[in-house]
Amino acid sequence: MSFETVSQARSFGGTQFVYRHLSEETGTPMRVAVFVPPQAAAAKVPVVWFLAGLTCTEENFTVKAGAQRVASELGLILIAPDTSPRGEAVPDDPEGAYDFGLGAGFYVDATQEPWARNYRMRSYLERELPDLVAEHLPADMSRQGIMGHSMGGHGALTIGLRDPERFRAVSAFAPIASPLNCPWGEKALSRYIGPDRAAWRDYDACALIEGGARLPDLLVDQGTADGFLDSQLKPQLLEAACAKAGQPLTLRMQDGYDHSYFFIATFIEDHLRWHAQRLGAS
């Protein structure tokens, strides 16, 4: 397998790529956006992954967050994968709901039919795509960080907590803090994983922390004007789980900010510099 270049554009001295490849895990073509900074011409550079939220593709972060300027300065490769498998044969929510199916893979390996064949975003991101990145890009895979937004914040936290040896830095914007305890999470996990709530715990940051998973520290930004704050995101559950377990957490409640990419664009520089410090970037 290899990357096929869909597009490329010069940006802040580096190059913004969109690649396509055939995934064995999802059984579909997958697209991934990759920004390669100018420092990569001389040596391998650290990697920061960004996982997007419900309804998003690889494009949202790439065109809306304004991350390339700072990534170019710091010498970071930015990787933004799609949020789910896609294609005519890939099952979708029969009612066309935005919070399940296409664009809503929830970063799990589904075990229930008809989702189990294609919805394997956990294995895609934990094994398949990193192997491709290591083979084809000037990436220092010993220095990786991960961040995400909303559903992608849930993905970043859980993937990071499950593999602390891989990720030196983990952060999130308005993450779904506890999918076991919100409507989005209950809908997705019950359909993808099945009715046994014990099997859901591997996909819940609070449950993973309660079960002993640890990271050196966590950074989370959350807007106070976010319409999903109380019903879906519930950062207080993450704060409580971290406090009880002694897991370091910096939770910043940002006054007046909502759930949009205007919020992400405002604080993306803070997150990239936080990652760069922990990854030993310039």
Report, as residue numbers or ranges, the catalytic residues.
150, 226, 259
- Cβ-based neighbour number of residue 262 at 10 Å: 11
- The count of C-alpha atoms lying within 13 angstroms of the C-alpha of 10, restricted to the half-sphere facing its C-beta, is 1
Tell me the three state secondary structure of residue 182.
Answer: coil
- The count of C-alpha atoms lying within 13 angstroms of the C-alpha of 219, restricted to the half-sphere facing its C-beta, is 20
Residue length, the chain?
282
d(CA 162, CA 247): 14
CA nearest to 105, candidates 11, 211, 184, 167: 184
- Is residue 18 within 8 A of residue 31, CB to CB? The reply is yes
- Phi/psi at 171 (5° precision): -145, 170
Tell me the three state secondary structure of residue 197.
Answer: helix
